Structure 1
Amino acid sequence: MSQPPRSKSLKDVLLIHELTFILLVVLAGTAGVIGMRLWDQSSQESQRINLMVQEIQQTRGDLYRQMKELFDMYFLKDPHAQEEYNVYTQSIGVHFKKLLELTVDQEEKSAILDLQNSYQAFVIETQRFFNRPQEYSDEALEKTLNTHLESGIFHRYEIISARAERLLLLKQRELSSRLEEAKSTSITLLMVPIGLALLLLVFSRIFLNRAIVRPIRGVLHATSEISAGNLNYKAPEEGVAELATLSQSINRMAEELTHSQEALVRSEKQAALGLLVPMLAHNIRNPLASIRATAQVADSNELDQETRDSLKAIISTVDRLDRWTRALLAYLHPLKPQPSHTSLRQILQGALVPLQEKIQERSLHFILPDWEDEDDRMFTDENLLEQALYNLLLNAVEASPFHTTIELHIHLSEETIQLVIYDQGPGMPFTPDPHAISPGPTTKRFGTGLGIPFAFKVFEALSGSIHFNSRIPTGTSTELLLPRNHQKS
């Protein structure tokens, strides 16, 4: 049989809830940290790209100013043009240095180096104008400035600069896309702990209602029922382990109160019967003895058959009344076993002797154990056990139909002896109660209902047990278990 699932204790439940809340806090914090980190990385990358674009534009602006100073020197004869030109050359060098520092991959570095090489070609070409100005006539200088320098070198620089800016703009778009993804990821990561928190709230409410609130309501209702006298009411053993244990304790308390109440009623009833029955038995048995003696004396062969049958009926009725009173007295008196060395075979034979007449009347067949190789020695009260076995065997005989079989089987061990009685009667319509307050029901016309209670009482005194297994309509098996040594038990 599978064991019922063990309930969790309230301490474990609270620990689980605390760990769950800590987990939610950790998840929320992790989501926030990841979102902030993604946003910070994206912001830094965006700032870097903007700085590179700004440096490229400043480089282009300084290059235009250099061109202006070059034109001012030759056409306006500005004496400070070369000095200003050199200042812009140094400024552009600083810009390229910053651009190279800001690059993060080979593609960006190659674009900046191409742009720097194009600028160096411009510088080398313009240095000739400053170093050897006499080599150029006004017409050649104007052609060189307009055609070769501006349309060639400077135009090529513009193309390379535009390509570098397109590369950075493409990366800027990719960064914007990553920022959107990071935003979606952050929102998703934040929604997960929020959703888990809502689920935890719902499940916590359901769990608390099922594991704590409802069981407490059941315990309170059970205490009200038990305090009102309904000792058979059972508190529901559900919820957390502490409440289930409390319900079990309340149910055990109710059971103990029930047993105590039954024991009190039984003792009071037996005490009352113990005072009344001996007096009634004494007043009944004396007249019965006189009636039986008179009937026996009156019985004679000279009487007609009807009269003799009536006298035998009187004697039989007196015997039944006498057995009833003796059984009632034995049931009421406390039993004090007097153990002695004996054997189960001897006790069983003593119990069967008074039953021979009934066995023959019903033509019953008894199958007895094979005693040849069996060690059935016992140390017990022979008389009490014989009376108990007589009552149980009498029930089996009177319940068995004519021409049927009663089987007796023994199972021996070092410490115990088990005897099983099988009959083929109609089966028992009730289950005998070993703790019954009064004599149990009976299926016999003139039965007292004391045979089985008396047997229960004897086996309890001898530290044994009786178990009835009714197999309606195929009969009853009575399993008897006794210790071999009454003193050890």
Structure 2
Amino acid sequence: MAKPKSLKDLLLIHELAFIMLVCLAGAAGGVGIHLWDKSSHESQRINLLIQEIQQTRGDLYRQMKELFDAYFLKDPQAKDEYDAYTVSVGAHFVKLNSLAVGDEERAAIDELRKSYATFITETSTIFNHQNEVSDELIEKTLNSNLESGIFQRYEIVSARAERLLSLKQQELQQRLDESKRTSLTLLTIPILLATLLLLFSRVFLKRAIVLPIKALLHATTEISAGRLEHKAPRRGAEELATLSGAINDMADKLTQSQDALIRTEKQATLGLLVPMLAHNIRNPLASIRASAQVADSAELDQDTRESLRDIISTVDRLERWTGSLLSYLHPMQPQPTLSKLSQIIQGSLSPLQQKLAEKSIELELPAWEKQDDSIYTDEHLLEQALYNLLLNAIEAVPNHSKLEIHADLSRETVRLMIADRGPGMPFTPDPHAISPGPSTKRFGTGLGIPFAFKVCDSLLGRITFSPRKGGGTLIEIELPRFHQPAVS
């Protein structure tokens, strides 16, 4: 499951999205303005080119007029006017060259300029040699060469240049229309994205904040009402999911505290009741046992003597039961010392040698000579716990079976394993059980395993019970190698 994002990150993403939309809208507007400005300048340039070409042609007409005035009307100022128009046309060509862009436009203007240069060359001859040339030749030049030749050719070149510029104007208009459509599209995209962002924000706020807060309020109401098993769903933003987890942890701890309080109260009640009961039971039991021992005599028949021994055995079992119960209820105060794990195991096995021999049980022990088995712990408490667990295992396994004890010592921990091939445990021992567990033996007290749990807890360790593959039970005990008593 993906880790939920925090509110800070989500708000940052939201703000960045809005900034991106603003930038996108600004970029779209900027692109549109730039395209419009560029097209406007280009259109203005082409219009100026067309205007200059038309003015050039107009000046050429005026020059022709001055030429006719000079010949037919004998106007003395015609030559000066002619030269003034020549200068004006030259200025137009300078401006045309400055406005032209691209080889195609420059070639058209150059062709127009060459055609005008041919006109100047022909007409200058008429002015310069007016007295030397016959009127008939001048008239022919004016009518044939200039009007129908050079001037017509200039008109064709000028029309071609204007047509080129008109085509460019049409292309420019098409680009301008495309730029309008592009600008509108670019402006539409931010609007659509803003709409989607608004819808997403609404859905996000509902799923990531509103609904999780509603679920948290419901969870706190349920927990405050005493239903500690209710869980707040871990969903929404990271902070809300963390808060849900904290509320669930708080409910779990409250449940544990409540269970611990109940256990403590019941154990306190048992602690007050059991010693009184044990005292009241032990006194008559001691009298019964003493009477049975005194009554046991060789003069009695066999059945009577067996009945007396049964009485003594039953009293001993009751005595052991009351002793175990008192030991289980009594608070443990570990007294750690530096010991050898091999000696602790041997000490727990010593009282069980006869039972091992009676059932012909093969015992497998760790190879202590290969490792340092020193351990800093309460030797006597650990030995009693191991004795109870081994006694259960020995009484559970069939005759001629095998009982294995393994030890794994690291620098920080000690791990003991007791493996048997018995029928397995009919229940899973609970280390937090309020009362002793059920006994699997005919005359058991059910205190062996709870006592081991209590010892391991006081020694800062733990016990786990698990079924063994192929049948039997595997008991694992894990303890710190160097016990550090809690500072009160």
Q: Compute the TM-score of the two structures, normalised by the length of structure 2.
A: 0.87
Alignment of 1:165-314 (within 5 A): 165-297=162-294, 310-314=307-311
Contact 1:407 1:423 in 2 (8 A): yes
Computed over aligned residues only, the root mean square deviation of the Cα atoms, in angstroms, reads 3.1
Partner of 1:428: 425
Aligned pair in 2 of structure 1 residues 216, 378: CA closer, same or farther (>3 Å)? Answer: same
CA distance in 2, matches of 1:429, 1:332: 25
Shift in Å, 1:95: 2.0
Aligned pair in 2 of structure 1 residues 342, 84: CA closer, same or farther (>3 Å)? Answer: closer
Amino acid at match of 1:406: L
CA distance in 1, matches of 2:452, 2:144: 135
Which residue among 141, 146, 157 is the counterpart of 1:144?
141
Aligned pair in 2 of structure 1 residues 312, 133: CA closer, same or farther (>3 Å)? Answer: same
Shift in Å, 1:463: 2.9
Identical counterparts, % of pairs:
67
Partner of 1:392: 389
Shift in Å, 1:366: 2.2
Partner of 2:405: 408
CA distance in 2, matches of 1:373, 1:156: 119
Shift in Å, 1:451: 1.9
Partner of 1:122: 119
Which residue among 434, 445, 450 is the counterpart of 2:447?
450
Contact 1:459 1:465 in 2 (8 A): yes
User: Per-residue CA shift, 1:344-390, capped at 9, x if unaligned?
Assistant: 33333333344345445544332223344554344543332222112
The worse-fitting range, judged by mean Cα deviation, of 450-459 and 368-377 is 368-377
Which residue among 8, 11, 15 is the counterpart of 1:14?
11
User: Per-residue CA shift, 1:172-228, capped at 9, x if unaligned?
Assistant: 233234334433443444344444444444444444444333332332222122111
User: Per-residue CA shift, 1:407-452, capped at 9, x if unaligned?
Assistant: 1112234554332111122333544332333333444455443222
- Whether 2:64 is the aligned partner of 1:70: answer no
User: Per-residue CA shift, 1:136-161, capped at 9, x if unaligned?
Assistant: 55544433222111111101111211
Partner of 2:56: 59
The worse-fitting range, judged by mean Cα deviation, of 172-181 and 108-117 is 172-181
SS at match of 1:466: strand
- Whether 2:155 is the aligned partner of 1:158: answer yes
Amino acid at match of 1:150: E
CA distance in 1, matches of 2:52, 2:74: 31
- Whether 2:437 is the aligned partner of 1:477: answer no
CA distance in 2, matches of 1:359, 1:53: 123
CA distance in 2, matches of 1:188, 1:150: 55
CA distance in 2, matches of 1:64, 1:453: 127
Amino acid at match of 2:433: A
SS at match of 1:128: helix
CA distance in 2, matches of 1:65, 1:414: 116
User: Per-residue CA shift, 1:281-307, capped at 9, x if unaligned?
Assistant: 122222333334444555567767666
CA distance in 1, matches of 2:268, 2:174: 98
Amino acid at match of 2:11: L
CA distance in 1, matches of 2:116, 2:431: 115
CA distance in 1, matches of 2:423, 2:178: 84
Unaligned runs of 5+ in 1: none
User: Per-residue CA shift, 1:42-72, capped at 9, x if unaligned?
Assistant: 2211111111012112222232233234334
Q: Number of residues paired by the alignment? A: 486
Aligned pair in 2 of structure 1 residues 156, 379: CA closer, same or farther (>3 Å)? Answer: closer
- Whether 2:292 is the aligned partner of 1:321: answer no
SS at match of 2:434: coil
Aligned pair in 2 of structure 1 residues 305, 86: CA closer, same or farther (>3 Å)? Answer: farther
CA distance in 2, matches of 1:80, 1:176: 46
The worse-fitting range, judged by mean Cα deviation, of 360-369 and 271-280 is 360-369
User: Per-residue CA shift, 1:68-94, capped at 9, x if unaligned?
Assistant: 343344445556554544443333233
Aligned pair in 2 of structure 1 residues 240, 176: CA closer, same or farther (>3 Å)? Answer: same
Amino acid at match of 1:346: Q
CA distance in 1, matches of 2:300, 2:205: 89
The worse-fitting range, judged by mean Cα deviation, of 36-45 and 233-242 is 233-242
Aligned pair in 2 of structure 1 residues 339, 115: CA closer, same or farther (>3 Å)? Answer: closer
Aligned pair in 2 of structure 1 residues 479, 375: CA closer, same or farther (>3 Å)? Answer: same
Contact 1:426 1:472 in 2 (8 A): no
Q: Compute the TM-score of the two structures, normalised by the length of structure 1.
A: 0.87
CA distance in 2, matches of 1:79, 1:303: 183
Aligned pair in 2 of structure 1 residues 40, 321: CA closer, same or farther (>3 Å)? Answer: same
